[in-house]
Chain A
Amino acid sequence: MDRLAPAERRARIRAQRATAQEKFLLFRVGEELYGLGLRGLREVLLPEGLTPLPSPPYRVCAALEHRGHRLPVIHMRVLFEVSPTGSPPTARVILTEGEGRPLGLLVDEVREMIDVDPTRLGTVPALATLLPSACFRGLVTRQDRIILLMNEDGLGRLDEVVQFYATGT
């Protein structure tokens, strides 16, 4: 085994720790903060060109025409049952990828980026939400604030998103 100088060893440990971190984009819905991994992130857009979809069957999804494609956008206030369901002026559409397909999330505000060690995420309690557990990666605390990290693939498996792509709505 190589003998490393202390400074070099520390640098190597720092580098290993740095690679273990994953970046999450924070966004606000209502008064709480949520995070979305950068892995599938494509763009952040102004919420323009959103078209409502027939209800029923659609309740949380709208359609967005973007660069010649029509893609589903989940209205996160509606999905999370945060009232009122209107969007503030700071609202944005986060364009990501769920289950390998484009997916938009309409959120109240896009905030900063944070680094998270994905091996140290807290578990979302079963009693805490009626949403499928697959929608969440886990929990993390930053500056005494609990942040729910979303799973874009779990969101991409929500019935309305699956139906959107199945029917080509």
Chain B
Amino acid sequence: MARVKTVTPGVTLDEVSILMFLVAGKQLAVELSRVQHVLDFQIPTRTPRRPPFVEGIIQYKGRYLPIVSLRKRLGVEGPGPGNPAFLLLAGVGADPIVGVVVDQVVRMVSVPPDKLLAPPPRVFGIRAEFIRGVVNVGGRPLVWLDETTVLASTEPITLIT
């Protein structure tokens, strides 16, 4: 877990840093330490007989990376925005780096441990096994996804939009 020691006068807190983004208008996040880079969208090369949520591959700094559409993985139908972003995530599966397409990157959020809530059985239709925690951001829930489980599992997930 990414913990950033934040020192305020007289108080030391272990904070978790997560990267917040949007998919179909929902506030979602992944652990910031997993994010190697954020890239502008580029059209991936389609690979043969790929899983339904895989868009293909791109080349980045001499390596070939698989590209996963988080919209498709979360069962969101219809086209996304015209200029989505790629999050390059490390250590989330068999491949060293996986590119994940999200609608829009919002910002980094530092979460004090006491503000991170255990997920109820479902949030936005996503089952708790795919969630590491829930935080209130701007009066709305922000769901911190379990990146590894979401990408490794083939169980359907249906984001309620």
Interface residues of chain A, those whose CB is within 8 Å of chain B, are 29-32, 79-82, 122-131, 139, 141, 145-146, 148
Contact = CB atoms under 8 A, between A and B. Distances in A.
Contacts of B93: 126-127
Given A31-B46, A145-B45, A125 B64 contact: yes
23 contacts: A32-B47, A79-B48, A81-B49, A122-B62, A125-B57, A125-B66, A125-B98, A126-B66, A127-B66, A127-B68, A128-B47, A128-B54, A128-B56, A129-B47, A129-B48, A130-B49, A130-B50, A130-B51, A139-B64, A141-B59, A146-B45, A146-B59, A148-B48
B63 interface: yes
In this complex, the member of B51, B57, B98 whose beta carbon has the largest number of chain A beta carbons within 10 angstroms is B57
Contact of B66 (A31, A79, A80, A128): A128
A80 B45 contact: no
A67 B114 CA distance: 76
How big is chain B's contact interface, by range? 20 to 34
B7 interface: no
Interface string B135-160: 00000000000000001000000000
In this complex, the member of A80, A128, A141 whose beta carbon has the largest number of chain B beta carbons within 10 angstroms is A128
Contacts of B66: 125-128
Interface in B49-108: 49-51, 54, 56-59, 62-66, 68, 93-95, 98
A81 B56 CA distance: 13
In this complex, the member of B62, B64, B94, B151 whose beta carbon has the largest number of chain A beta carbons within 10 angstroms is B64
A121 B56 CA distance: 18
Contacts of B68: 127
A129 B95 CA distance: 12
Nearest to B94: A126
Contact of A32 (B45, B59, B62, B151): B45
Interface of B: 45-51, 54, 56-59, 62-66, 68, 93-95, 98, 151
Nearest to A141: B59
Contacts of A79: 48-49
Nearest to B64: A122
A122 B49 contact: no
In this complex, the member of B58, B95, B151 whose beta carbon has the largest number of chain A beta carbons within 10 angstroms is B95
In the A-B complex, the 8 residue pairs with the smallest Cβ-Cβ separation, listed nearest first, are A80-B48, A127-B66, A125-B66, A126-B94, A146-B45, A128-B47, A128-B66, A122-B64
Nearest to B44: A146
In this complex, the member of B45, B48, B50 whose beta carbon has the largest number of chain A beta carbons within 10 angstroms is B48
Given A145-B45, A148-B47, A148-B48, A127 B54 contact: yes
A152 to B, nearest CB: 15
A126 B95 CA distance: 6
